Amino acid sequence: MIRTRLDAVPAIRKDYPTASDTFLIGDAAQTARLFDSVNPARGSRKDGRDEWTGRLTFDESLARFRDGDPALVPASDAYLTKLTDRALISRRWQIVPAVAGGAPNVAAALAGHPLAMRRRQRLQSDQAPLAIIVDVASSAGISTENLKKRGAAVLALVRMLSATRAVSLYVGVSVTCGHLRGDRQQDATHVFTRCDTAPLDLARLAHMLGHPSTARRLYYGAAYEAEGAPTSDGNLYWPYREGPIAIRTHAHEILSRAIPDACESLYIGAAHISDPAISDPGKWLDDMMTQHGGAPVTEAA
């Protein structure tokens, strides 16, 4: 993992002059090693199964993070089918030379050219690449089932957007650890995984986006460990102890400093009680695709 500590952006420092951001960014293999390094005595790792974490232990969730769990994919497929039926994805095609395809190119074959077949290929939008940043943290009162509904909708959105333009994808959490005091009590910790998008690893993403143990055991445990929290863990707060509004308002400015390909970003903030992706994920997904299906986005979702 690449670990970076920076002063908080001016919009945050205006109210909290000593606030800083700690970023831990890595690919899936690096993140798995980070999770595996969490102290076995830490509360988020040693506690047993409970409803709040979807009845998975830390190690069971880590195994699914590594190997994937496709349980949420059918729910995502259902959203995808509805939106595809509404033709929100532009289906532009071109015929390209290929080694294998549906029709021969006789002239190329006679000339001995290796690309002697033709096949149809979907054209992507010529928009600049889009960084999708998903925070899987959530308010403590949100149930497992509601997080799974939200996760299925977010997975469908990622699949839809990746079909219309080049995307990169980061999944993780932004939090403030409750044990921090004095000049550090408004510091934020951001732990994010750079996910494969070509192709999308659906089984892994289904677990990362939709199962509460991903955040509530793995990412929270990694944040506690990174900040040297007591093994009892303690409380977690929204970043800068400011509620969800500060990070949603300034997400691009904050996170693009540590995510180099976030020239244009779509930020999907942590789930909260009044979150439209919780109350009506189908409508939220429909609205998101109507608004952002191919257009550059730099504001919070």
Ranges of each domain in the chain = 2-88+125-292, 93-122
- The chain-wide mean pLDDT, for the chain, equals 88
Q: What is the pLDDT of residues 177-187, one digit of tens each?
A: 999 999 999 99
Tokens encoding 240: 């800068």
* Beta carbons of 226 and 42 less than 8 angstroms apart: no
Q: What is the pLDDT of residues 209-262, one digit of tens each?
A: 999 999 999 999 999 999 999 999 989 999 999 988 999 999 999 999 999 888
Residue 110 has phi, psi (to 5 degrees) of: -65, -30
User: SS3 for 8?
Assistant: coil
Q: With CA atoms as reference, report the closest residue to 45 among 207, 225, 233, 221.
A: 221
Q: What is the mean pLDDT of residues 51-62?
A: 96
Give the other-Cβ count within 10 Å of 176's Cβ: 23
With a cut of 90, say whether residue 289 has pLDDT above it: no
How many Å apart are CA 259 and CA 194, to the nearest integer?
9
The residue with greater pLDDT, 279 or 110, is 279
pLDDT for 37 equals 97
**According to DSSP H, which parts of the chain are helical?**
10-13, 28-36, 43-46, 58-67, 73-85, 106-110, 144-164, 202-210, 212-213, 220-226, 243-255, 276-279, 281-292
How sure is the predictor about 295, in pLDDT bands with cuts at 50, 70 and 90?
very low
Q: What is the pLDDT of residues 105-122, one digit of tens each?
A: 887 788 888 888 888 765
Q: What is the mean pLDDT of residues 52-67?
A: 97
* Beta carbons of 254 and 247 less than 8 angstroms apart: yes
Tokens encoding 101: 């395809």
